[in-house]
Amino acid sequence: MEFAIISTLNGVTYGLLLFMVSAGLTLIFGMMGVLNFAHASFYMLGAYVAYAVSSIFGFWTGLLVAPIVVGLVGMAVERFLLPRVHAHGHAHELLLTFGLALIIEELIKLFFGDFPVNYQMPGELRFSAFHIFGTDYPFYRLFIGGIAVVMFSALWLLLTRTRTGIVVRAAERLPAMAEALGHNIPLVFMFVFGTGAALAGLAGAVAGAFYPTNPNMGLELGVIVFVVVVVGGLGSLKGSLVASLMIGLFSSFAVGLDWSLANLLGLFGLGDWARSVGGLLTLELSSVSATIPFALMLIILLVRPAGLMGERN
């Protein structure tokens, strides 16, 4: 019971963090069809901007400024870089953002050095929310989760319940028609891209204070964020939420489970044989917990290529 509760808590909070980072990626892809490889770099940029600002003006200012700065960078990318390759199709957009990711990483190293920087959460947030089974549960994990929930609700309401949302969705569905009705489509796209980037920046500013802020953080999270988006269904906000939570929970539960193929074969009386063979048969689930999301992605792609809730096929 203790194991189940703790693992669920950890899994849900980690899943919400994944959602926070992948929300912007999903938004950009869903609305514009651009697969932004530099998204995780925006996440890293957010953490570093927040670090730089917070060391002078305090944590909360950093939290506010980071999404704005990263959002502006995102808008600039959409305005000045993407249109140049747009005519050549999605592959070129992907390659451009891939190059951008490499450049951002090296720039970060140039300005902030190769080592992790000392970006810390403020003292007033560093306390344990509650005490469960003899372990403190850090408040900041709940804080990350809370921000993710607020982010999801706000995006959801914005897209489905407001006039702006209608315009954005119209721009995605029938750009020519929306333009004919007098809406400035390039401007809409620029803002969508900017918002997506800003969300990544916010995620970086929040998560960077909990996890180390280093030049590799984009690389490390970038891959897993793509897995989330693919599993959830490219462009589906709800899908990414479900996929993030699934991946969070799977990885969290896998760590505590010593399951291996040998145990499974043990049910048929082949346990000793399997252990003597070793190798893959005795590989414990916990030692491959970080690989589970990729296995999940493989299965989803085989069974349901559009993802859990994706519309595009």
Partner 1 sequence: MKRLALLAATSALTLGASALHAEPLKIGIIESLSGAQTSTGRLYANAVSYAVARINEDGGFNGEPVEVIEYDNAGGAPDAATKFRQAVADGVDVIFQGASSAIAGQLTEDVRKHNLRNPGKEVMFINLGGEAMELTGDKCQFYHFRFTTTAPMRVNALVSAMKEAGDLGTKVYSINQNYSWGQDMQAAVETAAAGGDFEIVDEVLHDVNKIQDFAPFVARLKSAAPDTVFTGNWSNDLLLLMKASGDAGLDVTFATAYLDQPGNIANAGETALGHYIANNYDNAATDGEFAEAYKGSTGHYPTFVEGHTVFAVGALQQALGTLDFGGGDIDVTKIALALEDTTYETPVGPISVRKEDHQTIRPVVVSKVVKNAEYPADDTDMGFETVEVVSGETAIYPVQDSCKMVRPGE
Q: Does 211 bind partner 1 (CB under 8 A)?
A: yes
DSSP string, 95-155: HHHHHHHHHHHHHHHHHH-SSPB-----GGG-SEEEEETTEEEEHHHHHHHHHHHHHHHHH
Residue 117 and residue 51 in contact, taking contact as beta carbons nearer than 8 Å: yes
Q: Does 6 bind partner 1 (CB under 8 A)?
A: yes
Give the residue, chosen from 154, 158, 290, 298, that forms a contact with partner 1 under the rule CB under 8 A.
Answer: 290
Amino acid 257 reads L
Stretch that binds partner 1, among 26-34, 188-196, 250-258, 297-305 (CB under 8 A): 250-258
Instruction: Report the alpha-carbon angle 22-28-30, nearest 5.
Output: 95
Stretch that binds partner 1, among 10-18, 22-30, 180-188, 305-313 (CB under 8 A): 10-18
Given the complex with partner 1, which of 149 and 289 has the nearer CB atom?
289
Given the complex with partner 1, which of 120 and 263 has the nearer CB atom?
120
Q: Does 135 bind partner 1 (CB under 8 A)?
A: yes
**How long is the chain?**
313
Q: Does 11 bind partner 1 (CB under 8 A)?
A: yes
Stretch that binds partner 1, among 34-42, 68-76, 189-197, 219-227 (CB under 8 A): 219-227
In the complex, what is the shortest distance from the CB of residue 97 to partner 1, in angstroms, rounded to a whole number? Answer: 19
Q: Does 216 bind partner 1 (CB under 8 A)?
A: yes
Instruction: Provide the β-strand partners of residue 137.
Output: 130
Beta strands in 149-291 (DSSP E): none
In the complex, what is the shortest distance from the CB of residue 95 to partner 1, in angstroms, rounded to a whole number? Answer: 19
Q: Does 41 bind partner 1 (CB under 8 A)?
A: no
Give the residue, chosen from 55, 92, 120, 275, that forms a contact with partner 1 under the rule CB under 8 A.
Answer: 120
Q: How far is 164 from 182, CA to CA, in rounded Å? A: 14
Biggest alpha carbon–alpha carbon distance for the chain: 73
Q: Does 22 bind partner 1 (CB under 8 A)?
A: no
Give the residue, chosen from 99, 154, 220, 312, that forms a contact with partner 1 under the rule CB under 8 A.
Answer: 220
Picking from 284, 204, 176, the residue whose alpha carbon sits closest to that of residue 43 is 204
Given the complex with partner 1, which of 293 and 310 has the nearer CB atom?
293
The separation between the first and the last C-alpha atoms of the chain, rounded to the nearest angstrom, is 41
Over the range 160-194, which residues count as b (16 or more CB within 10 Å of their CB) and which as e?
A: eeeeeeebbebbbeebeebeeeeeebeebbbbbbb
Stretch that binds partner 1, among 36-44, 185-193, 249-257, 261-269 (CB under 8 A): 249-257
| Beta-carbon contacts of residue 158 (< 8 Å; ≥ 6 apart) | 164, 165
Q: Does 13 bind partner 1 (CB under 8 A)?
A: yes
Burial of 308 by CB count in 10 Å (0-12 exposed, 13-18 middle, 19+ buried)? Answer: middle
Picking from 294, 239, 308, the residue whose alpha carbon sits closest to that of residue 23 is 239
Q: Does 110 bind partner 1 (CB under 8 A)?
A: no
Q: Does 205 bind partner 1 (CB under 8 A)?
A: no
Q: Does 2 bind partner 1 (CB under 8 A)?
A: yes
Given the complex with partner 1, which of 263 and 289 has the nearer CB atom?
289
Give the residue, chosen from 16, 17, 50, 230, that forms a contact with partner 1 under the rule CB under 8 A.
Answer: 17
In this structure, what DSSP letter does residue 213 have? Answer: B
User: Residue numbers of the site for partner 1 (CB under 8 A)?
Assistant: 2-3, 6-7, 10-11, 13-14, 17, 106, 109, 114-118, 120, 128, 134-138, 140-141, 210-212, 214-216, 219-221, 224, 248, 251-256, 284, 286-291
